[in-house]
Amino acid sequence: MAATMNLTLLVVALIAAATVLPRTQAAQYVVGDTTGWNPSGGATFYTSWAAKHNFSVGDILVFNFTTGVHDLATVSQVAFNACNTNTTITRITTGPANFTLNSNVSYYFICTFPQHCSKGQKLAITVKASSGTLPPPTGVTSAPPPPPSASSASSQASTFLLILMTIALPIFYLF
């Protein structure tokens, strides 16, 4: 009985937290879209692909490639420009590979297989700080003064808790 109640409360708390807490809005990008990670798109393919997107901290890049035919290495900007495959920082040899953009820095990806980088299998990504890319909150100006975001969040929280408790309580009494 006590265990059931604890479980019910845990579920309610988790759902409420997931609903109310601000989302980090991490996005997932398939590098090269349907082309994937290979040199077939030509010399400027990944430059064009990267220019179409805005990357933020926490976003995930998905590199689709066949294991043993390509790989994914991060390198310095100098090595990237020269397609130097001897000084890799990280290297993933199993495809497909996910790479999380953890910092607001520039990342330089290449394939270390012979001639692949020079044929265009290279991707430079500049990551923005996630706080700088978030849109300004809407509706805050119409909310009562201090502190608008906290009060709206807590009223949202209590609304959801109320709804969830009305759902959870009957479940609780079933056990």
| Residues within the interface to Cu ion (CB under 5 A) | 70, 111, 113, 116, 121
Q: Which is nearer to Cu ion, 99 or 113 (CB)?
A: 113
CA angle 56, 97, 112 (to 5 degrees): 100
Which tokens go with 122? 């290279």
Least separation in angstroms between residue 28's CB and Cu ion is 22
Q: Which is nearer to Cu ion, 88 or 130 (CB)?
A: 88
Q: Which is nearer to Cu ion, 16 or 119 (CB)?
A: 119
Least separation in angstroms between residue 130's CB and Cu ion is 30
Q: Is 18 helix (H, G, I), strand (E, B) or coil?
A: helix
Least separation in angstroms between residue 42's CB and Cu ion is 14
Answer whether 133's CB lies under 8 Å from 56's CB.
Answer: yes
Q: Which is nearer to Cu ion, 38 or 56 (CB)?
A: 38
DSSP H helices in the chain: 2-20, 45-51, 77-82, 130-133, 148-174
Taking the C-alpha atoms of residue 88 and residue 175, their distance in angstroms, rounded to an integer, is 57
Least separation in angstroms between residue 38's CB and Cu ion is 6
